[in-house]
Structure 1
Amino acid sequence: MSEEPQENIAGDDAVAAAFEPGTAGTRAEAVVDRLGELYWQKTYGGTDAFECLVRTILSQNTSDVASQPAHDALMERYGDGDLVDALADAEQSELAETISSAGLYNRKSEVIIDAAERIRGTYGGAAAFDEFVREDDPETVREALLDIHGVGPKTADCVLLFAGGREGVFPVDTHVHRIARRTGLAPADADHEAVRARLEADVPATKCGFGHTAMIQFGREYCSARNPACLDGPEACPLYDRCDRVGVDEVGESVVDPAEAAD
């Protein structure tokens, strides 16, 4: 097993989750256990809720390489006091310039300012919003987050996981969506919400956090959209024996989205 890093995907100190592979109760749990042996178990908690929301908005449709400098620049300019107040009062053009490295910066700046205004009006500020995310009923929190303009299911679930420290939350990004369907853990034509529902039903709550982060790492290193490692043979992929390879033609060395293979 590789050395466990000191930071989670949200970039802050995380709460260590117990990793006990044992005998998996479902195929999905067996896959997550294998990924847990490959990667790390520090998964969630320890992140300010509004900063986590902002960070996740910045990461939409872009890479960590692009979104991290945008987050750092935003925090340098606006992070001295209450971040909600600072961003609710921010000039949109100035914020857009600040986060320009993240891409789609005009839209993202509007979404961040709208979110800050909504949170200040509803909760009063960053501290109260943080308490709400950590302490209220998870479904209530999720519904409130989804009601914010520009916040989708993946963003809401990341806030619940990384800021709220909630067990049983398995955010679905493009990597998780692809891998769950390619391996056969979810139907080939399942949308993001259907994949989330299946994984949260089949993976124990305590393993959902590191299952999410480890699956992202696996997607980056082994199971890319166009060139998965299995094309180089069984020995090239550590999940080969647990994967249906839906949409992957190893003989023809071609790959399509699992939904296309199911048609």
Structure 2
Amino acid sequence: MPDEPAENVSGGTDGGGVEARFATGSPDTRAEAVVDALGGLYWQKAYGGREAFPCLVRTILSQNTSDTASQPAFDALLERYDGGEDPRSSGNRPEADDSRTQSGDGGDLAATLAAADRETLADTIASAGLYNQKSRVIVEAAEEIVADFGGAAAFHDFVREGDPSEVRDRLLDIHGVGPKTADCVLLFAGGRDGVFPVDTHVHRIARRMGLAPPDADHEGVREALEASVPSEKCGFGHTATIQFGREYCTARKPACLDGPEACPLYELCDRVGVDANEKVVVDPAKW
């Protein structure tokens, strides 16, 4: 079974939780059967243990770009503002008691970024794209976290220990933080079960496979998946679906165009928006 790539938002084997095994005998829903199949193809993991504020920053950097492009920006940000310490190296276990988000000189990363020069920060994270916008979002989020929580440590405690719905609502109140970013923080930092973040891969694949209505928006897909996938399987369901989207179920040329044998999930898929005979692929909402 392959390792989860380090370029994923979860951090792969360096910080993305721990391997786990979940019951896969008789799935109650087709969505669960899909997640079980993905778990066999890729990984089954229990997530958690990431520091909340770096996780938030890392996910903001991933917006509208690939993980392979945003990871160098995150590494560069840590090197400049956090003494080069990668928070992926602390607390791989979902139950880990992390040492809190501090910079190499003993300072608070949120406070450091709240006081950062935006042009310098933008230059630092340039590889992530949309760097002017993202630098503004990061600085403003840091300012808000320092003002409302006192710093990254208390924010981390809130994410880990607060009521999940309240934590999600509070994250969504931060300018520039959308549902996917909030859910990634809940999953990878909070270690919360029942959270299935929806990015472009998950949105496309869930509708293409018939696991969500073809015209569902990102929130509609999230609600459909969280209602039909056991809570403990939602985390790796998210990351494994992304990997499946990269390797097999791409936007323009899904593997099924080459025949049933080309896709390991062919029998579980409705292929909404895919006409293999005509080699036509459209958004499921337009099918």
Say yes or no: TM over 0.5.
yes
Structure 1 runs of 4+ aligned residues shifted over 3 Å read 3-9
- Say whether residues 1:56 and 2:76 are aligned partners: no
**CA–CA separation in structure 2 for the residues paired with 1:141 and 1:43:** 20
How far apart are 1:43 and its partner, in Å? 4.3
Q: Structure 1 residues 6 and 224 mapped into 2: Cα distance closer, same or farther (>3 Å)?
A: closer
Number of residue pairs aligned between Structure 1 and Structure 2? 260
How far apart are 1:194 and its partner, in Å? 0.4
SS at match of 1:24: coil
Q: 2:185 maps to what in 1?
A: 159
Q: 2:248 maps to what in 1?
A: 222
Q: 2:285 maps to what in 1?
A: 259
Q: 2:77 maps to what in 1?
A: 74
**In structure 1, which of residues 22, 29, 32 is the aligned counterpart of residue 32 of structure 2?**
29
SS at match of 1:170: coil
Q: 2:206 maps to what in 1?
A: 180
**CA–CA separation in structure 2 for the residues paired with 1:162 and 1:53:** 10
1:59 partner amino acid: S
**CA–CA separation in structure 1 for the residues paired with 2:68 and 2:3:** 21
Return the TM-score normalized by structure 1.
0.96
Q: 2:10 maps to what in 1?
A: 10
Q: 2:43 maps to what in 1?
A: 40
Q: 2:86 maps to what in 1?
A: none
**CA–CA separation in structure 2 for the residues paired with 1:71 and 1:248:** 36
**CA–CA separation in structure 2 for the residues paired with 1:104 and 1:258:** 28
Q: 2:161 maps to what in 1?
A: 135
How far apart are 1:30 and its partner, in Å? 0.5
**CA–CA separation in structure 2 for the residues paired with 1:111 and 1:224:** 30
The answer (yes or no) to whether the contact 1:43–1:162 under 8 Å persists in 2 is no
1:219 partner amino acid: G
How far apart are 1:3 and its partner, in Å? 3.5
Alignment identity in percent?
71
- Say whether residues 1:203 and 2:203 are aligned partners: no
**CA–CA separation in structure 1 for the residues paired with 2:70 and 2:10:** 11
How far apart are 1:82 and its partner, in Å? 1.1
Q: 1:238 maps to what in 2?
A: 264
How far apart are 1:66 and its partner, in Å? 1.1
Q: Structure 1 residues 64 and 5 mapped into 2: Cα distance closer, same or farther (>3 Å)?
A: closer
SS at match of 2:253: coil
The answer (yes or no) to whether the contact 1:160–1:169 under 8 Å persists in 2 is yes
**CA–CA separation in structure 2 for the residues paired with 1:228 and 1:136:** 40
Higher alpha-carbon deviation: 2-11 or 235-244 = 2-11
Return the TM-score normalized by structure 2.
0.88
The answer (yes or no) to whether the contact 2:196–2:234 under 8 Å persists in 1 is yes
**CA–CA separation in structure 2 for the residues paired with 1:5 and 1:113:** 30
> Tell me, which stretches of 5 or more residues in structure 1 are unaligned?
none
